[in-house]
Amino acid sequence: MQLTNRKVVVSHKELSFAERMYLPAVAKGMAITLSHLFKKSPTIDYPKKTRPMSATYRGRHVLKRDENGAERCVACGMCAVACPAEAITIVAAERKKGEEHLYREEKYASSFEINMLRCIFCGLCEDACPKEAIFLTDRLVDAEFEREDFIYGKEKLVEKIDKRIDITKRQTQAVLDFKKIPGLRHNTLFDPKKQVKH
């Protein structure tokens, strides 16, 4: 039974001495190799250099501070519940008097851990957060030798006061527009007196 119409013509031409020594094939291979010396390398010297990433790339997380430098996270656990990989572990604590400059609201996360080996960078934690406290960023998770080094705690997740991470490009226009509505500002404490009817 004939399966295809393809045919191969078999040549019985006698190979020359050079061909039997693979010399034309070696020369052709060397020419290809040498030609790569003059081409721009498609690889980059990571981690010294990194490729520019999209502003909406879903890389490692950041826990944001508010405009006064206080941590936004209130340890509500919505991100942990939304996480399909069960990568987030949070321990909640109550803010003490005098800690208002550290934590935005009465409750905060005394411990916040993300297991980067479990995380699938889906971004559901970012979507679930009612406080705009957690965002994925264009930064990559570093390579490590030990598994426990992939469990990121607050020291790696909370943004540094003097090195803020701009996440405005991650927010949809709908969210940005919503935040412009006076009295219904996203993520401010609800004050019925300030509510404006539309």
The residue ranges that bind ligand SF4 (CB under 6 A) are 73-79, 82-85, 87-88, 90, 109, 114, 119-125, 128-129, 131, 133-134
* Least CB distance to ligand SF4 at residue 72 (A): 7
| Nearer to ligand SF4 (CB atom), residue 39 or residue 66 | 66
Q: Report which residue type is found at 160.
A: K
Which tokens hold the place of 41?
């390398």
| Nearer to ligand SF4 (CB atom), residue 19 or residue 99 | 99
| Nearer to ligand SF4 (CB atom), residue 124 or residue 184 | 124
* Least CB distance to ligand SF4 at residue 145 (A): 22
| Nearer to ligand SF4 (CB atom), residue 105 or residue 184 | 105
| Nearer to ligand SF4 (CB atom), residue 122 or residue 184 | 122
* Least CB distance to ligand SF4 at residue 194 (A): 23
* Least CB distance to ligand SF4 at residue 113 (A): 10
**What is the distance between the alpha carbons of residues 67 and 168, in angstroms, rounded to a whole number?**
13
* Least CB distance to ligand SF4 at residue 38 (A): 42
Which tokens hold the place of 150?
């992939």
CA of 94: how far to CAs of 59, 97, 99, 100, 104, in Å?
A: 30, 10, 10, 11, 11
Q: What are residue 148's phi and psi, to 5 degrees? A: -65, -20
Which tokens hold the place of 15?
């190979």
